[in-house]
Chains A and B, each alone.
Chain A
């Protein structure tokens, strides 16, 4: 994964994320959507084969980069919770 900023303003962030698809991006979008202070979170593929997906994020009152960090932490927490559950309940 290689993420780079396309556009950055006070409450707007546009990131190009190479090598990712709906698997991770949709989860990231969902995780941001539930966060307070996030107005808009979405991604698109300018071209499915030739170009990398672009993630848009618009916030109010919080720094979009901080919002991304919180979203990633939420994903990691879900991941760890489920890993514990699988380890303990599967034989």
Chain B
């Protein structure tokens, strides 16, 4: 098994994972999407709302805000010692209180004040609602840990995907160097130079097979290695991409160990 990072920014990573099976790649993707817990607003207590938006719409918009998550200090309500009733180790309270001072007041996510400085909106410039002068919003929001399988607001990633590592080959005996495959390639990876045909940046190939279809002399071959995968993980900002992967693997490890304990009792 080998891992090579191709691109890494804040909240985004693209890497090649070699020497694994398609099943393992899919398991990793499914774990990240639906099992890695993150923080999201789950309950909203509206004290005052004289804005034009209904309480339900405000609550829904609040739920979808990505919140910075600290997995070391919080546990899932179902696994908490309090039995899910709500305590400081399984929930955080955030308050939002804004009175319209301008003619049109836009309430942004930076108005949401958290009880715990480690938990709070990832982006401070997300509009929550708009209101007119002297209108008021006052609410308390309770954020909890949850899993993506229950609601998409608890997914740690906006994108997590993989594709097979492409292999583009040419049969130079059959090739007439007509250049049609070069023209048709939407990713511009095929090049003809000095009477030689080759593919560069093969990683960008989308395996569309257009070059194979257009070639009249059957000189282009597109396939995959079958054991190498290009992963793209784009975090919402709740957790870093590294933490997401490590947590996903930890969950898989726990699942396997739990199953082993069960099997040993058989």
Contacts and interface: CB of A to CB of B under 8 A. Distances in A.
B5 A89 contact: yes
Given A72-B256, A78-B20, A90 B2 contact: no
Contact of B242 (A24, A73, A75, A90): A90
A20 interface: yes
Given A24-B252, A81-B1, A83-B249, A1 B259 contact: yes
B263 A86 contact: no
A3 interface: yes
Given A22-B30, A30-B24, A72-B263, A85 B253 contact: no
Given A65-B263, A89-B5, A79 B26 contact: no
Contacts of A2: 262
Given A65-B266, A69-B263, A79 B246 contact: no
B257 interface: yes
Secondary structure at chain A's binding surface: helix, strand, loop or mixed?
Answer: helix
B16 to A, nearest CB: 11
B245 interface: yes
A68 B264 CA distance: 10
A44 B198 CA distance: 46
A23 B30 contact: yes
B27 interface: yes
A68 B265 CA distance: 12
Contacts of A4: 262
B263 to A, nearest CB: 5
A55 B13 CA distance: 35
Contacts of A24: 27, 252, 255-256, 259
B8 interface: yes
Contact of A82 (B1, B21, B23, B34): B1
Contact of A91 (B8, B15, B31, B249): B8
A82 B3 contact: yes
A26 interface: yes
A62 interface: no
A35 interface: no
B259 A86 contact: no
B228 interface: no
A85 B3 contact: yes
A5 B266 contact: yes
B35 interface: yes
A23 B27 contact: yes
5 contacts: A27-B23, A69-B260, A79-B253, A81-B1, A90-B241
Given A82-B3, A86-B3, 11 more contacts: A5-B266, A23-B30, A24-B27, A68-B263, A72-B263, A76-B256, A80-B253, A82-B1, A83-B249, A83-B253, A89-B5
Interface of B: 1-5, 8, 13, 15, 17, 20-21, 23-24, 26-28, 30-31, 34-35, 241-242, 245-246, 249-250, 252-253, 255-260, 262-264, 266
